[in-house]
Amino acid sequence: MDFADLRAFVTATRHASLHAAARELHVTASALSKAIRRLEGDLRTPLFDRSAKTMRLNATGQRLRERALALLDLAEQTRAEFEGARFRVQCRVGGPPILQWQHGPALTRAVARLYADSSVLLKPQYEDEALAALLRGELDFALVTGEALRQANAGAALRTLALGALEMRLAVARTHPLAAGARGRSVRLSSTRVLAHDFASPSRSIFCGVPRGERSDGWGDDAPPRRIRYWADDLQVLLALVRDGTAIAYLPEFTLAASDLVAIRLTDTPLRCVEETHLAWRPSEAAGWQAAVVAALGKKPQAGSRRASQKALAGQRVSAA
């Protein structure tokens, strides 16, 4: 039984077709089909129930998949232990650009410290897309908010690491009239004065991508109405509109210092939007290097079930090559 064939088999179980799995492995569908046949020959048992057009992972195949994941994980841990910094990985991370901006540098530094000859792919995706890709095995990690995890209800399938919080703040350029009395990085103003000026906002949530109109940036239902004159779903465009003094925007707090913006604190209206941020991964498919990366981030993973969800795999169909 060859480890390469095991990897090919596990990859095939993650995709809807052999062609898609073959693309991930950079081989032909025919070569992948032969690897699976070879594995079935070694084990003297079929792993898929085949029909004219599809292949369905059978009970034996599902049992082998769990065993294969454990074997491949052990192999990866052994390689990582003996190769040390020479161990090479490609870390695939999905999530909204705003969360990648906030946490991407720390994650890439952790990978680089552990495995110098490795790479990190940061793939921009809204949260539901990132979680779906993670559950399909197309990502190693997903950066998401606590609300997205609660909505996904995938607690049994995922483990998470709390990364902190992302708080939204009203922001203006130092050249904006509202920043005239600013001392340092903030200014205290009444809502009446602030709401007389033009705002810029995304038309859809910067986290999940759902169109929410004037509430898309986290401006709560109980917050006073504002005059939104400019709409932009690209955070860099929003920042540009604020930096040149064109508009006010409700932005993630950590972007203010990086862009030399002034935070506005309302004196008469409570305004607070805070999102918990998390790193998520699928324990059933986690390689040994992922645990090392999580540990290198220096925080404790949240308690939760390590049992992987089998629902996504039950009855999974794979197109025949």
What single-letter DSSP state applies at residue 262? E
Q: Hey, CA dihedral for 230, 233, 235, 237, is it positive or negative?
A: negative
pLDDT at 193: 95
Residues above pLDDT 90, as percent of the chain: 54
For residues 34-52, give the mean pLDDT. Answer: 89
Mention every residue, 6+ apart, whose C-beta is less than 8 A from residue 20: none
| Residue 185 to residue 313: CA distance in whole angstroms | 51
List, for residues 54-93, the tens digit of each pLDDT value: 788 899 998 998 888 778 777 766 766 566 556 578 899 9
- CB contact at 8 A, 191 and 269: yes
Q: How confident is the model at residue 183 (pLDDT cuts 50, 70, 90)?
A: confident
Q: CA–CA separation, 253 vs 185, rounded Å?
A: 11
Counts of helices then strands in the chain (DSSP H, E): 11, 13
One-letter amino acid of 159:
R
Q: Residues 42-60, buried b or exposed e (16+ Cβ, 10 A)?
A: eeeeebbeeeeeebebeee
Q: What secondary structure does DSSP assign to 129-140, as a single string?
A: HHHHHHHTTS-S
Q: What is the mean pLDDT of residues 125-139?
A: 89
Q: Is the pLDDT of residue 317 over 50?
A: no
- pLDDT exceeds 90 at position 179: yes
Give the integer Cα–Cα distance in Å for 201 and 220.
Answer: 13
pLDDT at residue 310, rounded to an integer:
31
Nearest CA among 250, 254, 304 for reference residue 281: 304
The token duo for 172 is 């203006």
- Look at residue 167 and tell me whether its pLDDT is greater than 90: yes
Q: Which residue has the higher pLDDT, 273 or 136?
A: 273
Please give the distance of CA 169 from its chain centroid, rounded to a whole number: 23
- For CATH 3.40.190.290, the residue range(s) in the chain are 166-275
Alpha helices in the chain (DSSP H): 3-13, 18-25, 29-43, 59-83, 97-114, 127-135, 146-152, 191-194, 235-243, 253-258, 288-296
Q: What is the pTM of this model?
A: 0.72
> Where do the CATH 1.10.10.10 domains begin and end in the chain?
3-82+313-319
Residue ranges matching CATH 3.40.190.10 in the chain? 86-164+276-296
CATH 3.40.190.10 fits 86-164+276-296, yes or no: yes
pLDDT tens by residue, 261-311: 999 999 998 888 999 999 999 876 666 788 889 999 976 555 433 333 333
> Of the given ranges (7-16, 30-39, 104-113), which has the lowest mean pLDDT?
7-16
The answer to which of 16-20, 119-123, 222-226, 233-237 has the lowest mean pLDDT is 16-20
Domain at 166-275: CATH code: 3.40.190.290
What does pLDDT average to over the chain? 85
Report, at the CATH architecture level, how domain 3-82+313-319 is classified: Orthogonal Bundle (1.10)
Q: What pLDDT score does 254 carry?
A: 93
Closest listed residue to residue 92, CA positions, set 225, 235, 305, 280: 280
Taking Cα atoms as reference points, which of 216, 192, 212, 214 lies closest to residue 264?
192
Q: Are strands 262-266 and 198-201 parallel, antiparallel or unpaired?
A: unpaired
